[in-house]
């Protein structure tokens, strides 16, 4: 009886180890680039899925057409966000993280977003305690 129980524990342990190994192997980390990093090496990223961060340029957020312009320090990038769920805190002047595929167009390059994330502003704001 003890060997049967030990055998089952070994089989379950082997299965769990295999599943964890497969999950770890199948998850490919995606580095997050700034707008400037991508624009400096734009040809290396064309038609690839990339993860970028940037600030939404004031006056460029158009939810009807589903477009927005993100800026870095020196460069900007047009982003198509149509069909996506817009997270809370997504607005002009905020830092966002976008995953999507970079495509070349006649006007330049555009990122077709498939995932958008915003940070919680209160997480980065300093708090003052009244004494």
Q: How confident is the model at residue 127 (pLDDT cuts 50, 70, 90)?
A: very low
Report pLDDT digits (tens) over 49-82: 999 999 999 999 888 888 999 999 999 999 999 8
CATH number of the domain encompassing residue 101: 2.40.50.140
Q: Is the pLDDT of residue 123 over 60?
A: no
- In a domain, residue 131? The reply is no
Q: What is the pTM of this model?
A: 0.69
d(C-alpha 58, C-alpha 93), whole Å: 6
How many structural domains comprise the chain? Answer: 2
Q: How confident is the model at residue 15 (pLDDT cuts 50, 70, 90)?
A: very high
Same-domain pairing of 67 and 116: yes
Same-domain pairing of 39 and 11: no
Same-domain pairing of 66 and 47: yes
d(C-alpha 96, C-alpha 75), whole Å: 15
Structural domain harbouring 39: 32-120
Same-domain pairing of 26 and 69: no
CB neighbour list of residue 117: distance below 8 Å, 6 or more residues apart = 87, 96, 97, 98
Same-domain pairing of 56 and 105: yes
- In a domain, residue 116? The reply is yes
């Amino acid at each position: 009886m003890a060997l049967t129980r030990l055998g089952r524990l070994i089989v379950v342990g082997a299965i769990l180890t295999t599943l964890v190994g497969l999950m770890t192997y199948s998850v490919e980390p995606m580095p997050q680039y700034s707008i400037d990093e991508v624009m400096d090496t734009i040809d290396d990223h064309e038609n690839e899925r990339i993860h970028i961060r940037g600030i939404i340029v004031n006056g460029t957020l158009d939810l009807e057409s589903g477009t927005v312009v993100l800026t870095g320090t020196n460069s900007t990038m047009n982003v198509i966000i149509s069909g996506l769920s817009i997270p809370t805190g997504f607005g002009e002047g905020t830092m966002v993280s976008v995953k999507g595929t970079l495509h070349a167009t006649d006007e330049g390059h555009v990122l077709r977003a498939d995932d958008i994330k915003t940070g919680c502003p209160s997480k980065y704001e300093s708090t003052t305690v009244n004494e």
